[in-house]
Structure 1
Amino acid sequence: MKLFVVDASVAVKWFIPEEHSDVAELLLDENFDLAVPRLFFSEFGNILWKKFTRNELSHEDVVDAARGLRSAMLTPVADEWLLDAAIALACELRHPVYDCMYLALADSLETAVVTADQKFANKVADPARVVFVTDFLKA
């Protein structure tokens, strides 16, 4: 099985129809192992909350997506030990620490982050470390 770290921008696409949702859903195939830092869950919830406040989702949609996430086969990884590496990456890349937590985890697992955040993928500019969701099958 192929291991990836997935970020919350990808996971939201599993439950909320958006651009590239069809490709993101392929990650739920049993041929992939998906690891996430514990930070993932609060970030996932925050994305749903933002969509709710912008009237893009109903309360029911938010609750359904949060419940649906529980059925996704994710391996949560304690992330407090990633903080030093994430801060170093954030300073090097001039990119937010919370995104760099995913990268620090992926680096430690010797795999790539799959993201729907094009800015993050472009910033790292190394598909062996961060791959945009539409390209993960090539990784």
Structure 2
Amino acid sequence: MLKPNDFEHIKKMIENKDKVKLRVDAGFGKKSITYIGGLGNVVFQLKEDNEENVSIHHMSFKNERKGLGTAVLEELIQYLAKNNKRKLFVENVTTRAMVEFCKKNGFKPVERQVYIKDDGCLYGNYQLTIETEEVL
């Protein structure tokens, strides 16, 4: 089960870098956590799919391409590895910038859950296999 307190350091990181106060909503039977700031232009939403998988359902920051997404991702992966989560998904990748972010960070397109646009990019869902503490 995802708990907002487990991600307090990520929340503070986003608040400091984007200079925004985030409010937290834990919903869907405690299976998701949403951080929302400003007028909704800063959003970070995590969803626990099952005991082994977590999804980034939404990720948008005011200051894009400044390293915040990568820093958040690194912290999240450390947390997931310690808690024996095996896969991290990024859902509904719809921009070239997010495709590039996923590829840069080792995510792979999920078979049968991606589509190609005229620009040749694979859009849709991406996944990253995590080396858990059990495996390490």
State TM-score, norm by structure 2. 0.28
Query: Could you say which structure has the greater relative contact order, defined with CA pairs below 8 angstroms and 6 or more residues apart?
Result: 1
- Normalized per residue, the structure richer in helix is 1
- Normalized per residue, the structure richer in strand is 2
